[in-house]
Amino acid sequence: MKKFLSITGIVLLFIIAFGLIFNEPIKEFAVDHMSNKFLSGLTVDQVDKNSKKKANYDFKKVKPISAGQVAKASINNDAAIIGKMSVPAVDLYLPILKGLSNDALSTGGGTMKANEKMGKGNYALAGHYMTNKGVLFSRLQNVQLGDKAYITNLKKVYTYKIYYKKVVPPTAVYLIDDSPGKKLLTLITCADGGTNRWAIQGSLVKTQKANTKTLSVFSK
């Protein structure tokens, strides 16, 4: 039986991968489905448990999102979800995953530094840019200064006001460093076909207890 299930899984993986390779909309649908799946039913206990897991933060191991990776993540995704994020002004609603694994970045926004804490320091997230219909971090290119961005660990909801939006070179890693006395949210994704990066930053303007009302900003 185990052998049969293993073979079935491999066959299913090839079928999904084949479909993704020849149909970009299918790939985008699969990514969007994964994101929504990770968002639904998330609990505080799951967030606490996932926050203790180990994660990869090696920028050099991050690969462009591919059909094969999406297929793999669709079937066996080991990314650890630790919260939710939203930028309602551009209809961006995604899970926050721990680290920069390919599974994490195929699903939502990944934390860029170890031991990041929401509402403290510079909370930095990276995400893939997918050109069609704003999947993953693609919609960030439409963000305007003054828009609000939200993150939550289901215990508190943190509101940031966006004040910085710029295309920067990949070497501008200083943007994710902590700045003394500042509480920031930094969002990074590709620009110019991957040659450069969009960098979006917001400053913390409000911290609220998570409840039905305050969590409503994470629902489409």
* Catalytically annotated residues: 128, 190
Side-chain half-sphere exposure of 79, counting CA atoms within 13 A: 33
Query: Do residues 23 and 70 make contact, with C-beta atoms less than 8 angstroms apart?
Result: no
User: Which residues make Cβ contacts (< 8 Å) with residue 200, sequence separation at least 6?
Assistant: 140, 143, 149, 162, 164, 165, 186, 187, 188
Do 109 and 137 touch, CB atoms closer than 8 A?
yes
Q: How far apart are CA 200 and CA 76, in angstroms?
A: 31
Q: Which residues pair with 190 in a beta bridge?
A: 197
d(CA 176, CA 201): 9
Is the distance from CB of 33 to CB of 71 less than 8 angstroms? Answer: no
